[in-house]
Chains A and B, each alone.
Chain A
């Protein structure tokens, strides 16, 4: 990803897409508005994971823990305290980032699979606590009917809110990728030893990437609550974490918007295959296997290679 994918020429189509998304809700049935908003939330979540996976080369196996922790923080602030909405809105992602910092401190000492495993166990610890702490988190029932202020009361207004927050987050993530920090991260992914040798503090950079990624996962968690008005322990379960990971691989983890595309594909698969058959995971499994065999670079990676003027990121070293 050394070169720009978003130059001026490709900025115009993006602006057009954004404008189309702005005028969509009145034209679409309610259900589709909801699905698109869900794609935004899931897309932001996948993009946040890709900061550490595609760009950082880390095995962030339990990303959902941060997403769920933020969603729960937001939900608890709204239901159990009388603090205004905006405090919850700021506090929740910060809580996610702080948890990310603590877990990250332990994890960055390890490499690859051990990193992932330690993260799974720490994340599962959070899940187990949320799952069991009935008085506080509602246990396996979760929290439902979270009150929203008037300006977020309708689906359409939530849609706009989610769209705008997501767009800002994606822009910030893009700027981070283009910053010296982003390129250093890429260098660490491709060759940690050499980076260490030229004097880059590898672990500190990885830790910073984890904190940034968990912060944006927290933003996605807040947006999820805005959309669904409920939280439940499955938000922190490791199955969701693997699903987010799959979204990145599915869409193309060496491209900027690939994970977003992967998330959109996953959400639509679940929704529309789910309408016709209850065996949607079977279909998803088969699609995944086809993808592994025929599109190892992900859908976006494939599209960019086929039609784009720029090729996707360097693959020679990859994350292996």
Chain B
């Protein structure tokens, strides 16, 4: 590909859409992390492992149904619930006893959880590469702006905003969402008015992890599902959450867009160093606005 070809409007816009759909996956994962970060004040290092579990269980469910469309839709519904269950067990059995402890200890715990979950995935699914198929009507590409664009990415462009709106409705219109938001700002006060903060934390943790699982299930048809995908996503998620503003859900959206789109254009302009661009964007943002683009709840 010579540069005369790649810099056409069609290529730019299609690459923009690819970046946008990548940003949707990142947003779904990062909004979960941001939610946990906002309420519990813990950067959940195990978030990437839960994302990986989401992808692997989507594979299992889809295989169970012989790769049919039903299997795919069921995988999309059930695997986030599997992840939520795993996180609920980890939270109630171990994590909830540590809330009074130092912050670094909580971080250390999520790291230990990452190690354990990573090996449990290896035990359960093995170290092979896995993949699943999207349903027929989401395969292939359609022409947009004179270049072809994968249908599945288009599907993600619809799912992303749906998740964003649901999250907005959840945190602003439901009682538990409001309590969680209040706990993010002032947890002592929430405890003082007679709400069981421990259960609020549990709910926030499980919801955050559910989103990680949903992200994993959604990404499953696009990538080869393998060990190590936890390490790849977690660092990106950390950075996105930071540039967005710690604990701010809309910040996660802004951060994901920046990250996804710089990555996509990096591929276009300088493929060899494509992974450098998002990091560079993050560095520039953090130097200019150290506390992130939007207001942090911290």
A131 in the interface (beta carbon within 8 A)? yes
**Among A106, A125, A239, A319, contact of B280 (Cβ-Cβ < 8 Å):** A125
**Among A118, A128, A132, A292, contact of B290 (Cβ-Cβ < 8 Å):** A118
With A113-B246, A292-B98 in contact, is A132–B112 under 8 Å at CB?
Answer: no
- Please determine whether B112 and A131 come into contact, CB atoms closer than 8 angstroms: no
- Please determine whether A282 and B120 come into contact, CB atoms closer than 8 angstroms: yes
CA distance A288 to B46 in the complex (A): 14
Tell me if B's interface is mostly helix, strand, loop or mixed.
helix
B116 in the interface (beta carbon within 8 A)? yes
- Please determine whether A292 and B109 come into contact, CB atoms closer than 8 angstroms: yes
- Please determine whether B112 and A121 come into contact, CB atoms closer than 8 angstroms: no
**Among A110, A246, A296, contact of B101 (Cβ-Cβ < 8 Å):** A296
CA distance A129 to B276 in the complex (A): 7
With A128-B279, A129-B276, A289-B94 in contact, is A118–B286 under 8 Å at CB?
Answer: yes
A316 partner residues in chain B, CB cutoff 8 A: none
- Please determine whether B111 and A242 come into contact, CB atoms closer than 8 angstroms: yes
CA distance A121 to B262 in the complex (A): 15
With A106-B287, A121-B283 in contact, is A282–B108 under 8 Å at CB?
Answer: no
- Please determine whether B102 and A318 come into contact, CB atoms closer than 8 angstroms: yes
A125 partner residues in chain B, CB cutoff 8 A: 276, 279-280, 283
B109 partner residues in chain A, CB cutoff 8 A: 288-289, 292
With A114-B291, A117-B286, A279-B122 in contact, is A124–B111 under 8 Å at CB?
Answer: no
Task: Encode B120-162 as 1/0 by CB contact (under 8 A) with A.
Answer: 1011000000000000000000000000000000000000000
CA distance A288 to B117 in the complex (A): 13
Shortest distance between the CB of B268 and any CB in chain A (Å): 16
Q: Which B73-110 residues have a C-beta within 8 angstroms of A? A: 94, 97-98, 101-105, 108-109
* CB-CB nearest 10 A-B residue pairs: A285-B115, A282-B119, A285-B116, A288-B112, A117-B242, A125-B279, A281-B115, A121-B282, A285-B112, A320-B102
A-B contact list, 21 entries, CB within 8 Å = A110-B290, A113-B43, A117-B286, A121-B242, A121-B282, A121-B283, A122-B283, A124-B279, A125-B276, A129-B276, A132-B272, A133-B273, A246-B111, A288-B108, A289-B109, A292-B98, A292-B101, A292-B105, A292-B109, A296-B101, A318-B102
Residue positions of B touching A, CB distance < 8 A: 43, 45, 94, 97-98, 101-105, 108-109, 111-116, 118-120, 122-123, 231, 235, 238-239, 242, 246, 272-273, 275-276, 279-280, 282-283, 286-287, 290-291, 298
